[in-house]
Structure 1
Amino acid sequence: MATSGDNFVEPWRKRLHIPAYQVGEAARYAQLSPQTIVAWHKLDGQRVLSEKERGERLSYLQLIELAVVAAFRKAKIPLKEIRAAREYVKRNLGSAHPFAEYQFKRYGKSLFTEYEEEKGSRKLVKANQAGQLAWKEIVGPLLEEFEYEHEGVAIRWHVAGPSSPVIIDPRLSFGTPVVGGVPTWIVKGRFDAGETDRMIAEDFGLDVLAVREALKFEGVLPGQQQKWIH
Structure 2
Amino acid sequence: MTSVLDREMYTEAEAARLLRVRQSTLHYWLEGAKGPKKEYKPILRDKPRGSRTVTWAEFVEAGFLREYRRTHNVRMAELRKFIELLREQFGVPYPLADRRPFVSGKDLVFDAQTAAGLGVDYWMVTVAGNQLLLTTPADSFSRRVDWTDNVAVGYSPDANSDSPVRVQPDIRFGKPSIKGVSTEVIGEQHDAGEDTDTIAEMYALEASDVAWALAYEFSVRATTQAA
**Structure-2-length-normalised TM-score:** 0.73
Q: Is contact 2:167–2:175 with CA below 8 Å preserved after alignment?
A: yes
Q: Structure 1 24/169 Cα, relative in aligned 2: closer, same or farther at 3 Å? A: same
Aligned partner letter, 2:81: A
Residue of structure 2 in register with 1:67 after alignment = 63
Larger radius of gyration: 1
Q: CA RMSD in A?
A: 3.0
Q: Is contact 1:73–1:79 with CA below 8 Å preserved after alignment?
A: no
Q: Which has the higher contact order (CA 8 A, sep 6+)?
A: 2
Cα deviation for residue 177 of structure 1 reads: 1.2
Residue of structure 2 in register with 1:35 after alignment = 24
**Structure-1-length-normalised TM-score:** 0.72
SS across alignment from 1:58: strand
Distance 2:101 2:70 in 1: 15
Distance 2:211 2:97 in 1: 29
Distance 2:50 2:87 in 1: 22
Return structure 1 stretches of 4+ with deviation > 6 angstroms: 131-134
Cα deviation for residue 137 of structure 1 reads: 4.4
Q: Deviations over 1:52-87 (max 9, x none)?
A: 534531111111011111111122143233212211
1:1-230 matched pairs, under 5 angstroms:
14-41=3-30, 42-43=32-33, 44-50=39-45, 51=47, 53-76=49-72, 77-102=74-99, 104=101, 114-115=104-105, 123-126=107-110, 127-130=112-115, 135-140=130-135, 141-143=139-141, 144-149=143-148, 151-161=149-159, 162-219=161-218
Aligned partner letter, 2:157: V
Report the number of matched residues.
Answer: 196
User: For structure 1, which segment, 96-105 or 191-200, has the greater mean C-alpha deviation from structure 2 after superposition?
Assistant: 96-105
Q: Deviations over 1:126-161 (max 9, x none)?
A: 132239996534444342322322x32222211112
Distance 1:155 1:220 in 2: 24
Distance 1:156 1:103 in 2: 16
Aligned partner letter, 1:67: G
Cα deviation for residue 124 of structure 1 reads: 4.8
Gaps of 5+ in 2: 34-38, 117-124, 221-227
SS across alignment from 2:86: helix
Q: Structure 1 25/85 Cα, relative in aligned 2: closer, same or farther at 3 Å? A: same
Q: Structure 1 19/52 Cα, relative in aligned 2: closer, same or farther at 3 Å? A: farther
Cα deviation for residue 171 of structure 1 reads: 3.5
Cα deviation for residue 174 of structure 1 reads: 3.1
Q: What percent identity do the matched residue pairs reach?
A: 23
Aligned partner letter, 1:24: A
Cα deviation for residue 46 of structure 1 reads: 3.0
